[in-house]
Structure 1
Amino acid sequence: MTGTEPAAARIDTSKPHPARVYDWFLGGKDNYPVDEELGRHIMSIDSRAKHVARTNRWFMQRVTRWMSGEAGIRQYLDIGTGIPTEPNLHQIAQAAAPESRVVYTDNDPIVLTHAEALLRSTPQGVTDYIQADVRDPGRILEQARKILDFERPIALSLVALLHFVSDDDSPYELVRRLVDALPPGSYLVLSQLTADFDPPAVQRGVDMYAAGGVTLVPRSYAEIGRFFEGLEPTEPGIVQLTQWHPELGVDEVTEGNEAASLYAGVARKP
C-alpha cells in the first residue's frame, strides 16, 4: 500500500475529525462519540446538515459520471477521500471505464484502516491510497506519480476539503502547486462551503467546529473563483452545489428548495 507508516496507525479520538463527522452525517459507523457529539450539536442548530453532507456526496457521484463520460478522464487524484461510502469514486469511474486509475488521499488514520475497501479495483484498472495531508502537496505528488501517468490527463478532486484549510495554510498556493503538476487536459473539481446563502447558519457551524478544535473557513463566490484562475471553466461554471448538472443524478432526494451552502465548479487545464 502506498504511503503507510507507523504513525498512521494512531487515531486521535479526543477531538472530532471532519472525515468522521461527515461519516456520521452519512449514516456511517466509522466514527467516535466525540464525532457524533459534534454532529448532533450541529444538527440541533441546523437540521439540514445531514442532507447537505449527502448533497455533497451526490455531487461527487455526478461529477465522476461526467468525467468518465463526456470528459473522457481515466485517471483521478482524490484528496480528502473520507471514510468509504458506496458508491466510491473508483466504483463509478471503473464502471464506465474499467481501465481507470484512482489514487485516494486522506490525513485521517481511520481512513487508512478502511483502505482495503478503497483498493478493490477492476483487474484492468488500479486503485491505491496515500496517507497524506493536502498541506503537503509534494508528498502527495511524489506518491501519486508511482500510480498515475502525469503525461496523461488527471482529474484532481478537492471535494468539501478546502474549507478545512485556513488562510494561514495558503490554500491558493497549495491548489496551484497541485494543478501546476498536472498535464494539459486535466481537470480541477472543487466544492467549498460558503456563507453567501445563509450567513447566520454558516457562522453557527463555524463556531461549533471551532469549539471542537476544527477549522472551518467559508469562502465567497469570488474567493472560490480564485482557485480556478488560469483554467478553462466548464458549464455551468461555479454554481450552488445542486445546480451542477442535476440531470446526472441517480437516486438523489430533494428536501425542500433550500440551497446547500456550498459552491461547486469544474475547470480544465489548457
Structure 2
Amino acid sequence: MERKHVDLSLPSAARMYDWLLGGSNNYEVDRAACELLLEVAPTSRELALNNRWFLQRVVRVLAEEHGIKQFIDFGSGLPTQRNVHQIAQEADPASRVVYVDNDPVVLALGQSLLDENDNTTILPVDMTDTDTIFGHPDFTRLIDLTRPVAALFVSVLHCLPDSAGPKALVDRVIDKLVPGSFVVVCQLVSDDRKVRDDVTELMQTQTGGHWGRVREKADVEETFERLLVEEPGLVDVTDWRPDSELQQRQRSVEWTEFGGLGKVRSRERTPGDGGRGLPDESPRE
C-alpha cells in the first residue's frame, strides 16, 4: 500500500476522536485542537465515548440477532479497542469486514493490525468514491453483494460538506445492497444554532477545511428515507438499546450523536403501501 504524507501541521478528525477516546495515536496539534473544541463543547469527550459504545452495541446486534456476516465501515477512523471485526468475528469467526478510510495515519496503523486477519482489510479510498470501493479487488474478495451486508456510517457524515452529498453517498450504497441488508447512520447534531455554527467554524478552521458541519436531526432523518427504521427508532445513540452498564454514563449536552439502524427495503415506497415496501426477499443464511 502506498504511504501518504502525514501533514502534522493540521489536526485530523480521526486523530482528535482518538484523543477524546483516550487513545495514543494522535499528535500535539490534535490535542491542542481538542482543547479548543472542549472550550466550545465541554462534553465532547462523553459524546465520543457514547458514540463508540453505540458502534459496539449495534455491531453486536447485527451479528448476533440478525445474522449479518459482512460489514463495510465507511470512514472507519483509527483502530482502537473492540473494533468492528473483533465484535463480528466473536459472533462468527468467518465474518468479513472492509474498513474504508484515506487518512494516512489510519491506513498505516490499521493495515499493520489487520495484516494477519484474512477476513478483514482496510481500503485506502475516499469514502465518497463508491465506484472505486465496490470495484476494489480486496472488496470483491471479501464482500458478496448477493448476500445481506451491514454498511456503517458511524460519526462520519458530518465530516463531509454538503457539496459532497452525504445523503447521496448513503443512497448510492443502498443501491448496491440486497434487501435484508442494514445501514447504520449517526451524525453530530445540535438543536442550538450557536453550537452548530461555533463547532463547525472551529473544525473547519482547525482541519484546513477537511470537515463538513454539525447538522440538525432532520438532516439525519433524510438519510433513512429509503430504509425501514429498526426499534428504538432514530435517537441520541446513548439511548439506542443501552446496556445496563452504559445507562449510567454521562451524556453530552451541547451536541449529540443522533441516528440509528435501518433495514434495506425489498423495493421503493409506492403510494398506498404505507412506506413499508414488500416483504423481504433477501437470501437467507
TM-score using structure 2 length: 0.85
Sequence identity percentage: 36
State the superposition RMSD in angstroms: 1.9
> Does structure 1 residue 242 correspond to structure 2 residue 238?
yes
> Does structure 1 residue 218 correspond to structure 2 residue 214?
yes
TM-score using structure 1 length: 0.90
- Report the counterpart of residue 80 of structure 2 in structure 1: 85
Q: How far off is 1:165 after superposition?
A: 0.7
CA contact (8 A) 2:74 2:101 kept: yes
Equivalent runs, 1:35-74 vs 2, <5 Å: 35-74=30-69
| Structure 1 residues 41-65: Cα deviation after superposition (integer angstroms, max 9, x where no partner) | 1112322111111111111001011
SS at match of 1:263: strand
Q: How far off is 1:252 after superposition?
A: 7.2
Indicate how the Cα distance of structure 1 residues 174 and 25 shifts in structure 2: closer, same or farther if over 3 A, else same.
same
Runs of 4+ in 1 over 4 A off after TM superposition: 249-253, 256-260
| CA distance, structure 2, for counterparts of residue 32 and residue 242 of structure 1 | 28
Equivalent runs, 1:9-158 vs 2, <5 Å: 9-114=4-109, 115-121=111-117, 126-143=119-136, 144-158=139-153
CA contact (8 A) 1:119 1:129 kept: no
CA contact (8 A) 2:97 2:121 kept: yes
Q: How far off is 1:258 after superposition?
A: 4.2
SS at match of 1:141: helix
Q: Which amino acid aligns with 1:131?
A: P
Q: Which amino acid aligns with 1:261?
A: T
| CA distance, structure 1, for counterparts of residue 133 and residue 150 of structure 2 | 14
| Structure 1 residues 222-244: Cα deviation after superposition (integer angstroms, max 9, x where no partner) | 22111112211111111111111
Q: How far off is 1:137 after superposition?
A: 1.1
- Report the counterpart of residue 200 of structure 1 in structure 2: 194
CA contact (8 A) 2:238 2:251 kept: no
SS at match of 2:79: coil
Indicate how the Cα distance of structure 1 residues 256 and 12 shifts in structure 2: closer, same or farther if over 3 A, else same.
closer
Which structure has the bigger radius of gyration?
2
- Report the counterpart of residue 273 of structure 2 in structure 1: none
CA contact (8 A) 2:95 2:119 kept: yes
SS at match of 2:202: helix
Q: Which amino acid aligns with 1:134?
A: M
Q: 1:177 aligns with which of 153, 172, 180?
A: 172
| CA distance, structure 1, for counterparts of residue 156 and residue 226 of structure 2 | 21
| CA distance, structure 1, for counterparts of residue 190 and residue 22 of structure 2 | 25
Indicate how the Cα distance of structure 1 residues 25 and 120 shifts in structure 2: closer, same or farther if over 3 A, else same.
farther
Aligned positions, number: 260
- Give structure 2 stretches of 5+ with no counterpart: 266-285
| CA distance, structure 2, for counterparts of residue 161 and residue 45 of structure 1 | 20
